[in-house]
Structure 1
Amino acid sequence: MLKTTAALTLAAAMLLPAAGAIASSEVTLTDETKAQITQTLTEQGYEVGKIKVEDGMYEAYAKKDGKKLEIYLNGDLEVVKTDVD
């Protein structure tokens, strides 16, 4: 029983730093980040509207070629998904 408790405690202690790393990678929206996203997407031909954070990613509402789009970017400001609205 003591060996099992010690093994579980050790396993939990090893997982805690990983859980902290995951939590610290969450994106936060600042004025600087909004400006970077706007600049990046504008250079790609988008007309950028509202920008927000959803499901751990940046979400930018934009228009291009007459289409309304939702553009999702990761923490490195790389486009990972685009949905036509």
Structure 2
Amino acid sequence: MLKTLLISMLLVGTLSGAAHASDTVDLTDESKARIRQTLTEQGYEVGKTKIEDGLYEAYARKDGAKLEVFLNAAFEVVRTERDD
């Protein structure tokens, strides 16, 4: 019984780690292109991109405003801040 419980706990821990790993962001040429494409389709002019607090961050302009646009691992905009 104890052996089964330990194996179950190990599997749950392993699967949790794998799920968490898929939510991490990594700034590659491919991810930069995806960010640029996503934001351009939404009317942004995209400048520099980086990672901040586990999110993609893009410096962009829209309607004359300077903005910081934050995207999650699925390239969805989760927050936008003015960059005055």
TM-score normalised to structure 2 length: 0.77
Alignment correspondent of 1:63:
61
Match of 2:49 among 45, 48, 51: 51
Q: Deviations over 1:8-38 (max 9, x none)?
A: x848634343134323431101111111111
Equivalent residues, number: 80
In structure 1, what residue type is equivalent to 2:42?
Answer: Q
In 2: Cα distance, 1:53 partner to 1:76 partner = 14
Which has the larger Rg?
Answer: 1
Identical aligned residues as a percent: 59
In 2: Cα distance, 1:70 partner to 1:35 partner = 17
TM-score normalised to structure 1 length: 0.76
In the alignment, structure 2 segments of 5+ residues that lack a partner are none
Which is worse superposed, 33-42 or 22-31?
Answer: 22-31
